[in-house]
Amino acid sequence: MGSPLCGSQMAEAEPGGRCGAGGGLALLNARALDVTFEVGDDYDVIETIGTGAYGVVSSARRRDTGEGQQVAIKKIPNAFDVVTNAKRTLRELKILKHFKHDNIIGIKDILKPTVPYGDYVVLDLMESDLHQIIHSSQPLTLEHVRYFLYQLLRGLKYIHSANVLHRDLKPSNLLVNENCELKIGDFGMARGLGADPRHAKAFLTEYVATRWYRAPELLLSLHRYTRAIDMWSVGCIFAEMLGRRQLFPGRNYIHQLQLIMAVLGTPPPAVMGAIGAERVRAYIQSLPPRPAVPWEALFGDADAEALALLARMLRFDPRDRVGVGEALRHPFLAKYHDPEDEPECVPAFDFAFERRALTKEDIKAAIVAEIEDFHARRDGIRRHISLAPTNGVSGGVNGAGPMGDSNGAPNGPAWPCADVDMVSPGPDGPMESALQVKAEPGAPAAPKRDGAISDDTKAALKAALLKSAMRNKSKGERVGWGGLSWLG
């Protein structure tokens, strides 16, 4: 879909002064935050737009683009001080370097580490996230819901095809721009599918997913996890879009179970028998049996096909939950579904680094190596572009390579996960994506769905985003930027 990124929720900081150049460096002194940005000659820092648990974000303008492309630059001070945070940084950096998909956030640039100022990651600067949209006062039409859900599932299909579980899908991690384009962000909690069974208990007991979007098998310690945990989260998000409120806003662990059972009824016998915690099983068995509540009773006159799909997503037994491929083929999404334009990721992501005992110094060295690799690959692409002929070089369309060949599989085209797609912009502005010049075999072009959702629908969302942004800015509440978990 070729859209820019949009941002996770962030508390807005007091804007800093406009940037100035000194000694060839763009510096920003955010007085309220006492933060200095040193980002080299490529960017002019504009203002501080937010703070988070792991750093500070500023908007900036790229100097070497004809139109002064605006971006978000995140400073990660003391990036290696805490082992858990450093490992989360390494995990997400490796995953996002491995992925290349229109509905997943991508890293535009990583500035090489500087001392003592910190590390900087460059992302697209965008308007909002799905949480802000859902809980605004602006209309959210069924077409908005359909389009957002389709893009979420399209991105999730790619993620799952790489044997990666996101594990923290929620509206604030789904980044949206004014054209209704959506990208999945925050891979800090991601893990590999089919990981070493010895680590299964740790997987289930560690904090995974925000409670309101957490699958029952994680709450009930079923000792088995699959892609279905993400599909449960998608169902909760889908319901939240339809109802404009959280479906299961549990105050604590017990309340979360109570809310789920109030809608889905008592867990079926197969689930009860698989519960790993005896006390949890005893608690549920002590409750009177409850029937499931019809979805129509909860969502009134909602679209029947939408509720039919929702019912397939939100089931107690993960084995009964709809998979991402089947969900994409559901009649509710027929308007957008195109099996030739829903790529998979090849090869699968390797989580071997997670199984090694790493010291803080090991993680630091690994992160630095990832940054160096990012630059080496990008520089290699630039050299390739400078030597390549300009005629007839294309990434192809719908799985076709530059010579028209395709490695598309019956269930959707599979193509090598790209390492980086950023190239040096030309004198008249940014160049096209490097996917068009790298000519990866079978690399799909961005889906041509700009006309699938009406201009009126887009205009309504754009107005809502602009109004929300102005209101938030005036109140000093939240702004949109980029979407990496380790960026705050």
Query: Could you list the active site residues?
Result: 168
Q: CA 9, CA 220: separation in Å to the nearest integer?
A: 30
Residue with tokens 């859900």: 149
Residue 300, by phi and psi: left (phi above 0), alpha (psi -120 to 50) or beta? left
Q: CA 373, CA 32: separation in Å to the nearest integer?
A: 35
Query: Minimal CA–CA distance to 238: which of 317, 147, 137, 316?
Result: 147
The tokens for 470 are 């102005």
Q: CA 117, CA 37: separation in Å to the nearest integer?
A: 7
- Say which residues have a Cβ less than 8 Å from residue 12's Cβ, sequence separation at least 6: 49, 50, 472, 473, 476, 477, 478, 479
Q: Is 75 flagged in the annotation as binding?
A: yes
**Cα separations in angstroms, 63 against 22, 38, 47, 337:** 15, 15, 15, 39
Task: Give the containing element (helix H, strand E) for 37.
Answer: strand 35-38
Task: Give the containing element (helix H, strand E) for 366.
Answer: helix 360-387
Q: Are 393 and 386 in contact (CB under 8 A)?
A: no
Q: CA 468, CA 470: separation in Å to the nearest integer?
A: 5
Binding residues for ATP: 75
Binding residues: 75
